[in-house]
Amino acid sequence: MTPLATATAATAPAATAPGFLSPTGVEIAFLLVGAVTLGAAVITVTTRQLVHAALWLVVALGGLAVEYLLLTAEFIAWVQVLIYVGSVVVLLLFGLMLTRAPIGRSPDADSGNRPVALAVAAAAAAALLWVVVDAFRTTWIDLGGPAQGSTRVSGEILFRHWVLPFEALSVLLLAALVGAIVLSRRNGDGDGDGDDAKDLKRQGPHRTAPGKDR
């Protein structure tokens, strides 16, 4: 927990009817980071430079990790940094390179479906915003009390209550690993013919390993 978070958590119960116009420090931090995150996300989906999109994605995912921290979910924040920023984005960058994505501005990064996509997204956003704001206008999160997302707490609940799903998940990851290998093989009998392109491609599935050994 950051000092800022604890401070706001201590003062929160005092404000019985906290209004939107008098935000606490945590809220201000959350809003600022949220704005950066949203901006990075928007740039990710609109930029014409493919590699830049991946890099802006790092910003967005990192911003989200900070948000987790602000929400006292500490362990998840570090997992987010580790997996998303550390491996997923690297994987995506590998993918971009292996598909020979153009470096620099590519004029056709958006398909002809763009207006439709904009309309659908706007409509969905409007509908969801309306519902969410309508429902949670006055709901208050009490961030005080015992830590909810520390590594200790997470480990306890994970291995006390969620062991079976956790193990099932490991089987799923194994299946994904095998599937990725099978998909990437050049031939059914491809046993190491020393092809460079093939070896490069094989790195894709191998890179899923970090997800497993989290």
Question: Rule CB under 8 A: which of 114-143 touch another protein?
Answer: 114, 116-125, 127-133, 136-137, 139-143
- Residue 170 CB neighbour total at 10 angstroms: 12
Distance in angstroms (rounded) separating the CA atoms of residues 212 and 208:
7
**Per CB under 8 A, does 147 bind another protein?**
no
**Per CB under 8 A, does 15 bind another protein?**
no
Within 33-62, the residues that bind another protein by CB under 8 A are 34, 37-38, 41-42, 44-45, 50, 53-54, 57, 60-61
**Per CB under 8 A, does 163 bind another protein?**
no
Would you say 113 and 75 are in contact if contact means Cβ atoms under 8 Å apart? no
**Per CB under 8 A, does 86 bind another protein?**
no
- As measured in angstroms, the least distance from the Cβ of 209 to another protein is 9
Within 170-199, the residues that bind another protein by CB under 8 A are 172-173, 176-177, 179-180, 182-184, 186-188
Tokens, residue 36: 């950066």
Nearest CB to another protein, comparing residues 2 and 153:
153
Distance in angstroms (rounded) separating the CA atoms of residues 82 and 75:
11
**Per CB under 8 A, does 155 bind another protein?**
no
- As measured in angstroms, the least distance from the Cβ of 129 to another protein is 5
**Per CB under 8 A, does 27 bind another protein?**
yes
Distance in angstroms (rounded) separating the CA atoms of residues 158 and 68:
18
- Residue 145 CB neighbour total at 10 angstroms: 9
Would you say 80 and 68 are in contact if contact means Cβ atoms under 8 Å apart? yes
Among 10, 31, 32, 103, binds another protein (CB under 8 A): 31
Quick one: which of 79, 7, 64, 73 has its CA closest to 33? Answer: 64
